[in-house]
């Protein structure tokens, strides 16, 4: 593992996978606040298809390599970076190659199952992997952790809830931890009836009350599948059992998560809802460094509310517990079917409440089996997507 002496006080080689998404842009903002190209050697920046933003960032940070996952964007990216020293590539394999570049710190901010192969490549090549997506741990958590241990790398969770737990979890007294408490905003529809939720449109679901996030994550927050994935991820990230993990709805998004101890103490990490805080924590670890965020003003915090999630209206948490209990490939199948269902909802093919129905129907049909490697996870992912598409087709015909 990386020692404190290794991580502190040196010019580091850094890559950002998913540099043009919300997490990627926040990461670049933190890098700017700490000197940008004058302080860091940026090895690789990748993007899904936003070649213009990617090119601008590559020039600003003096990146060695810029990669678009969308092969159709290669020519435009190449032309934008013509005359610079930045190497250009495109395609899924090129993203994995970029992730395999040796670094001191790599931010993995690629959303969805598309993050799996680059995440594993980064685990083999980077001294510190700052993991901002949920899918890597949900779909292949055991294999990913094994990969990191073999390479001697350090995993730092960046998702705000898991980063909060990491900050207040006593690593030297695991046995003293009684419970993990994940907080959820509840999304924009926590007060709606089932009848009202059935009429929710994609445009409404894409409006989060507190956080600025990508489209998929925003919709997952509205269905609470975001929290379902975090529930599963927490079981892989921390040495606790599933029955030690709780979820509470906290509409203000001030308390980002908590750890309860056997003596009755509960330690919470708090702050304004801004992803640059956990990113800065991961960048500076094991030290704390400044983050360019608004400071929490307690005189303006009128209330901190907490309530149990309503699993009748938001069945995602129940499905997460069931997938964890089934073990093996079930969490991977849950994630894959949810991705497909969200795409179908955004495309107007199914309704908002149908997302959970598709996931549950897929889990019932895709038998749980042992996952021994990344390739096993990719096979299950593909199978679950096919099954989910069949269930969506049934809904469309109904």
- Phi, psi at residue 280, to the nearest 5°? -65, -35
Domains of the chain, first to last: 4-158 (3.40.50.720)
Give 100-128 pLDDT, tens digit per residue: 999 999 999 998 889 999 999 999 999 99
Percentage above 70 pLDDT, the chain: 96
CA 116 to chain centre: 12
Given a contact cutoff of 8 angstroms between Cβ atoms, the answer to whether 53 and 37 are in contact is no
pLDDT surpassing 70 at residue 8:
no
Given a contact cutoff of 8 angstroms between Cβ atoms, the answer to whether 122 and 46 are in contact is no
- CA torsion through residues 38, 44, 49, 51, sign: positive
C-alpha to C-alpha distance for 188 and 335, rounded to whole angstroms: 22
Cα 179 to Cα 76, 175, 176, 266: the distances in Å are 50, 11, 9, 9
pLDDT surpassing 50 at residue 41:
yes
Give 81-107 pLDDT, tens digit per residue: 999 999 999 999 999 999 999 999 999
Beta strand pairing status for 177-184 and 255-261? antiparallel
- CA torsion through residues 123, 1, 24, 202, sign: positive
Given a contact cutoff of 8 angstroms between Cβ atoms, the answer to whether 332 and 138 are in contact is yes
Given a contact cutoff of 8 angstroms between Cβ atoms, the answer to whether 300 and 341 are in contact is no
Closest CA to 245 of 179, 303, 200, 151: 179
pTM: 0.92
Alpha helix segments (H runs only) across the chain: 4-7, 22-33, 51-61, 74-80, 92-99, 116-125, 135-151, 160-168, 194-197, 202-205, 215-223, 225-237, 276-284, 316-326, 330-346, 354-365, 374-397
Give 209-252 pLDDT, tens digit per residue: 655 556 788 899 899 999 999 999 999 999 999 999 999 999 99
């Amino acid at each position: 593992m990386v020692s404190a002496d290794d991580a502190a006080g040196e010019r580091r080689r850094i890559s950002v996978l998913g540099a043009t998404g919300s997490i990627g842009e926040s990461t670049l903002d933190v890098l700017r606040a700490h000197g940008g190209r004058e302080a860091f050697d940026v090895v690789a920046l990748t993007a899904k298809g936003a070649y213009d933003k990617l090119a601008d960032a590559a020039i600003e940070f003096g990146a060695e390599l810029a990669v678009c996952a969308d092969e159709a964007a290669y020519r435009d990216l190449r032309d934008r970076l013509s005359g610079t020293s930045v190497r250009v590539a495109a395609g899924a394999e090129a993203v994995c190659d970029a992730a395999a570049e040796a670094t001191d710190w790599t931010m993995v901010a690629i959303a969805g199952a598309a993050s799996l192969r680059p995440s594993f490549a980064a685990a083999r090549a980077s001294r510190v992997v700052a993991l901002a997506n949920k899918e890597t741990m949900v779909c292949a958590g055991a294999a990913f952790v094994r990969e990191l241990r073999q390479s001697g790398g350090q995993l730092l969770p960046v998702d705000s809830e898991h980063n909060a737990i990491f900050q207040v979890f006593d690593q030297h007294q695991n046995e003293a931890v009684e419970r993990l408490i994940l907080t959820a905003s509840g999304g924009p529809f926590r007060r709606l009836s089932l009848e009202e939720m059935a009429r929710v449109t994609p445009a409404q679901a894409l409006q989060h009350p507190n956080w600025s996030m990508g489209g998929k994550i925003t919709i997952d927050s509205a269905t609470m599948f975001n929290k379902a994935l975090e529930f599963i991820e927490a079981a892989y990230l921390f040495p606790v059992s599933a029955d030690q993990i709780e979820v509470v709805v906290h509409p203000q998004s001030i308390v980002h998560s908590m750890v309860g101890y056997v003596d009755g103490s509960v330690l919470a990490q708090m702050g304004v809802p801004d992803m640059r805080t956990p990113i800065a924590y991961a960048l500076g670890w094991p030290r704390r460094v400044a983050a360019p965020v608004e400071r929490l003003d307690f005189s303006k915090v009128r209330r901190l509310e907490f309530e149990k999630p309503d699993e009748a209206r938001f069945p995602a948490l129940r499905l997460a517990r069931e997938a964890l209990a089934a073990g093996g490939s079930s969490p991977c199948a849950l994630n894959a079917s949810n991705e497909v269902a969200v795409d179908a909802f955004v495309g107007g093919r199914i309704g908002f409440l149908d997302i959970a129905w598709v996931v549950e129907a897929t889990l019932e049909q895709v038998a749980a089996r042992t996952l021994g490697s990344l390739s096993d996870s990719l096979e299950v992912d593909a199978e679950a997507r096919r099954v989910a598409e069949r269930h969506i087709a049934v809904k469309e015909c109904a």
